[in-house]
């Protein structure tokens, strides 16, 4: 009982509680949320009905960090009377509370979802003047502290409880998720069994949705009558359960493990729920973290305005930080269930995501399929000269070609050569080079055919990098997934160039007699252009050249560094100089002389942390009024100056 005390100190606790108690345990199964709804997280509670405030059911709830619901439930119901109004955090929890007779547990469970957001919501609600509750700061602080204490107690409690639980994962879960959860649960000293046995298992974890097929999909338009609490807020979740129950009743399929579990009075938890539980158990609770409502609200409001739910009352908007998240979740689930919204990989891919499902995957990349994996342009071991990066194709011999060719046209010839070599390589399974003379001949002939082929194609890696960089420059806060999308979009075009190059490069080392094959014969000898290297004393001098390349390419983004490049050219050996010159020439050509030759100061774009602004030209920016205002205001440097004053150089 003691662990609940702090909760009841929170405003509205009692209120919610009473509300909860007033509501019948079971509601008629009705309009399913279809795919829109979250999984039936709380089915177990429903079945078990009301056990009183301090029954074991409570254990399965999680305390919210702060619960500040308005005291006027009826009003809220009215507010939410539109069925398509998304459940706000408040409405949701309230309705949930209303819906579930297992009152405290119910409510706690609902809060569980919003646990993190609630603090923000609480902060937000403290500002509301329309609310019937006006909470003073210190109250809020106190409430937060108490609430945090409640969470800590909850954590302590569950750390004791988990070792007594036995989990079983049903088939609907992915292997990865099972493995992860198994690890996490074992870390909590719980038992995880691979075999389902009714006597032993206490909890079943499922990823299923349990949506009965006969229910209308478009439940949003299904009703327009008066408010039914369960359609709001918690209804989002409950409906699920309802429908699942309905399913149970209608199709009492005893082969269904969940049905069996139900009969055996086991708890059925969704993966989301168990993940939330685990993450909450591991969460650190700090009393002093209090997001300021000022920071949260404007953006929140803005986002809400954009949604179709703008008609929701201000009250809801202000209060409900979780709304946005909920919408997101729903959207996500919807998109997940709809194959149209799911992108399916067609080629080799890599994806790293968040196991908890709270975040979107942060590493996604797909590559083209090649019959020979070594033709693929993803990073893989490449056989190349000692000293070189093992993941980068060796460009050595390209230069020896260059040397022998008329330097100015060499690059142009390559493009065509690549294609031919590509064809040849595909035909041949071996990596045997053609006679050298032949290739030279080929080159010179292509030279005439396609003299204007852009050299950009020879630098596929750089260009990818460059593109990505540019994207990032324009959107500083670009997320990983966005980047990936950009990349995927560009992949096709770039890949072609890249692959062409790979093939030709793969050919070249052989031709030059530098066929450095190590013991791992499986590794194919290939070279890559971005690493155009110098046969100098230094290994990996290619970085110089890489840098050069980058700068050259930076020109296309506005960063012209004519003099830099010239200077740097001196630093690298002649062959490279030749190559780079050719490249520059070609670049100039391709950019139709937008580069003035003697441009000295080139605008350097960037981001100023002090002005919190992007600038196009560093030098302009740092003398701009705005920046100078910052620079000349010593108040901005108080802390730094204090430190600097301790750093004076001691005199003898």
Partner 1 sequence: MPYNGAEVQQLDVSVSDDYIEVIDDINVKGRHGGRRNAQDSASDSDHKSQSDQDGSDCNHNDSTYLSDDQYSEESDGVEDICPEVQEEIDQFMKSFHKLDFHYKIVGKTGEGTFSSVYKAIDLRYDRYINDWDLDERTSEFHSPRSKRQRLHHSKEKRVKYVAIKKIYVTSSPQRIHNELELLKDLSGSKNVVSLITAFRHLDQVIAIMPYFRHVDFRDYFRKLEIPDIQLYMRSLFTALKFVHAKGILHRDIKPTNFLYDCSKGRGVLVDFGLAERESDDGTCSCINSANGFRKESKQNSSALGGYPKNDQRPSKRANRAGTRGFRAPEVLFKCNAQTTKIDVWSAGVILLTFLSKRFPFFNSPDDIDAVIEMATVFGRVRMRVCAALHGATFETAIPTITEKGHSLGRIVEWATARNKDNPLTSQEKAALEFLEATLELDHRKRLSASQALQQPFLTQIDPDVSDDEVETI
Beta carbon nearer to partner 1, 265 or 482: 482
Beta carbon nearer to partner 1, 593 or 648: 648
3-state SS track over 133-185: CCCCHHHHHHHHHHHHHHHHHHHHHHHHHHHHCEEEECCCCCHHHHHHHHHHH
- Is residue 461 close enough to count as binding partner 1 by CB under 8 A? yes
Give the residue among 58, 49, 154, 70 at the shortest CA–CA distance from 105: 58
How far apart are alpha carbons 624 and 617 in whole angstroms? 10
Q: How far is the CB of 353 from partner 1 (least distance, A)?
A: 5
Q: How far is the CB of 106 from partner 1 (least distance, A)?
A: 26
Beta carbon nearer to partner 1, 56 or 282: 282
- Is residue 625 close enough to count as binding partner 1 by CB under 8 A? no
Among 260, 442, 456, 608, binds partner 1 (CB under 8 A): 608
Question: Which pair of structure tokens corresponds to residue 517?
Answer: 């094959």
- Is residue 288 close enough to count as binding partner 1 by CB under 8 A? no
Edge-first strand order for the sheet with 166-169 is 191-193, 166-169, 203-206, 267-270
Give the residue among 272, 280, 115 at the shortest CA–CA distance from 209: 272
**SS3 category, 524:** coil
Give the footprint of partner 1 on residues 82-111 (CB under 8 A): none
- Is residue 390 close enough to count as binding partner 1 by CB under 8 A? yes
- Is residue 161 close enough to count as binding partner 1 by CB under 8 A? no
Kindly indicate which of the ranges 46-54, 332-340, 396-404, 584-592 contains the residues binding partner 1, using the contact rule CB under 8 A. Answer: 332-340
3-state SS track over 398-451: HHHHHHHCCCCCHHHHHHHHHHHHHHHHHHCCCCCCCCHHHHHHHHHHHHHHCC
Among 49, 193, 308, 475, binds partner 1 (CB under 8 A): 475
Q: How far is the CB of 22 from partner 1 (least distance, A)?
A: 36
Q: State the Cα angle at 355 between 235 and 120, rounded to 5°.
A: 55
Q: Is the dihedral of CA 352, 355, 361, 362 positive or negative?
A: negative
Site string for partner 1, 48-87 (x = CB under 8 A): ----------------------------------------
Please state the φ and ψ torsions of residue 380, each to the nearest 5 degrees.
-155, 165
Beta carbon nearer to partner 1, 25 or 327: 327
Only one residue has tokens 């074992």, namely 186
Give the footprint of partner 1 on residues 123-142 (CB under 8 A): none
From residue 94, alpha-carbon distances to 12, 90, 532, 536, 624 in Å are 11, 6, 65, 73, 53
Beta carbon nearer to partner 1, 104 or 506: 506
- Is residue 476 close enough to count as binding partner 1 by CB under 8 A? yes
From residue 554, alpha-carbon distances to 384, 470, 547, 559 in Å are 28, 9, 10, 5
Beta carbon nearer to partner 1, 54 or 617: 617
Q: How far is the CB of 195 from partner 1 (least distance, A)?
A: 15
How far apart are alpha carbons 196 and 186 in whole angstroms? 17
Site string for partner 1, 339-358 (x = CB under 8 A): --xxxxx-xxxxxxxxxxxx
Beta carbon nearer to partner 1, 374 or 419: 374
Beta carbon nearer to partner 1, 298 or 536: 536
DSSP character at residue 476: T
Query: If you compute the radius of gyration of the chain from its CA atoms, what whole number of angstroms results?
Result: 32
Q: How far is the CB of 561 from partner 1 (least distance, A)?
A: 7
Among 376, 395, 433, 506, binds partner 1 (CB under 8 A): 376
Among 478, 486, 535, 595, binds partner 1 (CB under 8 A): 478
- Is residue 630 close enough to count as binding partner 1 by CB under 8 A? yes
Q: How far is the CB of 618 from partner 1 (least distance, A)?
A: 5
Beta carbon nearer to partner 1, 131 or 541: 541
Among 484, 526, 549, 577, binds partner 1 (CB under 8 A): 484
Give the footprint of partner 1 on residues 515-534 (CB under 8 A): 516, 518-520, 523
Identify the burial level of 505 via C-beta atoms within 10 angstroms of its C-beta, where 0-12 means exposed, 13-18 middle and 19 or more buried.
buried
Give the residue among 509, 548, 556 at the shortest CA–CA distance from 528: 509
How far apart are alpha carbons 531 and 69 in whole angstroms? 61
Q: How far is the CB of 594 from partner 1 (least distance, A)?
A: 17
Beta carbon nearer to partner 1, 72 or 303: 303
Give the residue among 396, 420, 607, 403 at the shortest CA–CA distance from 504: 420
Among 75, 314, 610, 626, binds partner 1 (CB under 8 A): 610
Kindly indicate which of the ranges 23-31, 141-149, 226-234, 640-648 contains the residues binding partner 1, using the contact rule CB under 8 A. Answer: 640-648
- Is residue 600 close enough to count as binding partner 1 by CB under 8 A? yes
Q: How far is the CB of 242 from partner 1 (least distance, A)?
A: 26
- Is residue 469 close enough to count as binding partner 1 by CB under 8 A? yes
Give the footprint of partner 1 on residues 178-237 (CB under 8 A): 178-180, 182-184, 186-187
Q: How far is the CB of 186 from partner 1 (least distance, A)?
A: 7
Beta carbon nearer to partner 1, 344 or 452: 344
Kindly indicate which of the ranges 119-127, 143-151, 409-417, 553-561 contains the residues binding partner 1, using the contact rule CB under 8 A. Answer: 553-561
- Is residue 265 close enough to count as binding partner 1 by CB under 8 A? no
Give bridge partners of residue 192 from the DSSP assignment.
167
Give the footprint of partner 1 on residues 436-455 (CB under 8 A): none
**SS3 category, 206:** strand
Among 33, 177, 219, 501, binds partner 1 (CB under 8 A): 177
Beta carbon nearer to partner 1, 145 or 468: 468
The continuous run of DSSP H or E covering 498 comes out as helix 480-511
**Applying CB under 8 A, what is the total number of residues that bind partner 1?**
143
Question: Which pair of structure tokens corresponds to residue 428?
Answer: 């041949």
Residues sharing a CB contact under 8 Å with residue 525, sequence separation 6 or more, in sequence order = 382, 383, 384, 394, 431, 506, 509, 510, 515, 516, 517
DSSP character at residue 88: P
- Is residue 284 close enough to count as binding partner 1 by CB under 8 A? yes
């Amino acid at each position: 009982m003691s662990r609940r005390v702090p909760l009841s100190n929170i405003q509205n606790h009692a209120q919610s509680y009473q509300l909860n108690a007033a509501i019948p345990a079971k509601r008629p199964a009705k309009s399913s949320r279809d795919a829109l709804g979250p999984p039936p997280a709380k089915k177990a509670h429903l079945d078990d009905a009301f056990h009183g405030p301090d029954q074991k059911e409570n254990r399965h709830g999680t305390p919210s960090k702060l619960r500040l619901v308005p005291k006027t439930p009826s009003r809220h119901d009215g507010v939410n009377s539109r069925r398509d109004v998304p459940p706000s955090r408040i409405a949701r929890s309230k309705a949930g509370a209303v819906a579930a007779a297992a009152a405290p547990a119910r409510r706690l469970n609902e809060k569980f979802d919003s646990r993190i957001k609630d603090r923000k919501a609480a902060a937000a609600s403290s500002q509301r003047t329309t609310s019937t509750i006006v909470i003073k700061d210190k109250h809020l602080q106190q409430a937060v502290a108490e609430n945090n204490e409640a969470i800590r107690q909850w954590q302590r409690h569950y750390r004791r409880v988990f070792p007594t639980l036995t989990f079983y994962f049903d088939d609907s879960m992915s292997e990865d998720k099972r493995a992860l959860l198994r690890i996490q649960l074992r870390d909590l000293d719980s038992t995880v069994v691979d075999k389902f046995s009714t006597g032993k298992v206490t909890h079943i974890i499922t990823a299923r949705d349990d949506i009965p097929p006969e229910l209308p999909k478009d439940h949003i338009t299904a009703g327009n009558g008066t408010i039914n609490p369960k359609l709001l807020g918690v209804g989002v979740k409950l409906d699920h359960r309802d429908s699942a129950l309905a399913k149970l009743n209608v199709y009492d399929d005893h082969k269904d493990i969940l049905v069996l579990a139900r009969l055996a009075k086991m708890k059925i938890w969704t993966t989301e729920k168990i993940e939330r539980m685990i993450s909450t158990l591991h969460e650190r609770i700090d009393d002093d973290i209090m997001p300021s409502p000022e920071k949260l609200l404007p953006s929140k409001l803005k986002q809400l305005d954009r949604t179709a739910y703008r008609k929701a009352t201000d009250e809801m908007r202000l209060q409900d930080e979780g709304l946005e998240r909920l919408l997101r979740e729903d959207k996500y689930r919807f998109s997940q269930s709809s194959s149209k919204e799911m992108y399916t990989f067609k080629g080799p891919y890599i994806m790293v995501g968040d196991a908890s499902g709270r975040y979107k995957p942060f590493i996604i990349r797909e590559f083209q399929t090649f019959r020979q994996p070594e033709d693929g342009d993803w990073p893989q071991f490449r056989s190349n000269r000692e000293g070189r990066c093992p993941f980068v194709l060796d460009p050595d011999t390209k230069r020896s070609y260059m040397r022998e060719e008329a330097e100015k046209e060499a690059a142009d010839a390559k493009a065509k050569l690549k294609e031919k070599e590509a064809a040849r390589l595909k035909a041949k399974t071996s990596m045997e080079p053609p006679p050298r003379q032949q290739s030279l001949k080929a080159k010179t002939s292509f030279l005439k055919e396609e003299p204007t082929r852009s050299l950009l194609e020879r630098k596929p890696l750089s260009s990818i990098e460059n593109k990505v960089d540019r994207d990032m420059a324009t959107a500083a806060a670009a997320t990983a997934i966005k980047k990936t999308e950009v990349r995927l979009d560009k992949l096709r075009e770039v890949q072609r160039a890249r692959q062409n190059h790979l093939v030709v490069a793969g050919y070249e080392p052989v031709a030059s007699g530098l066929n450095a094959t190590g013991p791992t014969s499986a590794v194919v000898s290939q070279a890559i252009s971005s690493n155009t290297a110098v046969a100098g004393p230094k290994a990996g001098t290619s970085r110089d050249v890489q840098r050069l390349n980058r700068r050259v390419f930076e020109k296309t983004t506005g960063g012209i560094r004519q003099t830099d490049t010239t200077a740097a050219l001196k630093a690298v050996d002649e062959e490279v100089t030749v190559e780079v010159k050719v490249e520059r020439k070609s670049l100039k050509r391709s950019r139709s002389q937008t580069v003035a030759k003697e441009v000295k100061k080139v605008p350097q774009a960037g981001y100023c942390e002090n002005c919190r602004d992007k600038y196009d030209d560093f030098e302009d920016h740092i003398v701009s009024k705005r920046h100078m205002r910052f620079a000349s205001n010593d108040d901005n440097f108080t802390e730094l100056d204090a430190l600097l004053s301790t750093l004076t150089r001691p005199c003898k």
